[in-house]
Amino acid sequence: MNNKKLLENLRCIPDFPKKGINFRDVTTLYKDAECMQIMLDELYELYKDKGITKIVGIESRGFIMAAALADRLKAGVVLARKPGKLPATVVKESFSKEYGVDTVEMHLDSIDENDVVLIHDDLLATGGTAKATWKLVKHFNPKKIYMNFIIEITDEGLHGRDLFEGLVDVTTLMVI
């Protein structure tokens, strides 16, 4: 989609969090009311006819648009969080990162087999966190799963989308 207004307002911070990485800062999109509306409108158009019943927001920037879109779609919101943040019984999925292992968790009662789920996060780069979240959602055996990101980074040799080839429908609002 690559909306011109969104691209113009996306901040890029070179060498953050380490040298050689160009960090895409979506907070500049969230603080602009017009950008928020554009993103929400585009997401709504993508998913309005899909029967979405739950939106899984990935910690933490994924929570923002997950909640806004859930309101518009009349769906529930489920949080995919880092370990120790959810108070009730959880299911978890660990995944390898460049320098170790990380884990995402969801409440055990978050999703059921009658749900149509959209997993949402702000950014698709390597895809590790998103893949772990997808595996968690699969654990619940919902009717259908979709996946969406505001930004997909491909200009730095990243191929996160490849992790989902043939597994789930992935959409993004911007490809950089």
User: Which tokens hold the place of 154?
Assistant: 């491909």
| Rounded Cα distance, 56 and 117, in Å | 7
Determine whether 34 is an active site residue. no
Sequence-distant (≥ 6) Cβ neighbours of residue 20 within 8 angstroms? none
| Rounded Cα distance, 48 and 26, in Å | 23
| Rounded Cα distance, 154 and 65, in Å | 22
| Rounded Cα distance, 58 and 78, in Å | 9
| Rounded Cα distance, 27 and 44, in Å | 20
Determine whether 98 is an active site residue. yes
Choosing from 61, 81, 105, 152, which is the catalytic residue? 61
Burial of 144 (C-beta count, 10 Å sphere; 0-12/13-18/19+): middle
Choosing from 42, 59, 81, 98, which is the catalytic residue? 98
User: So which residues are the catalytic ones?
Assistant: 61, 98
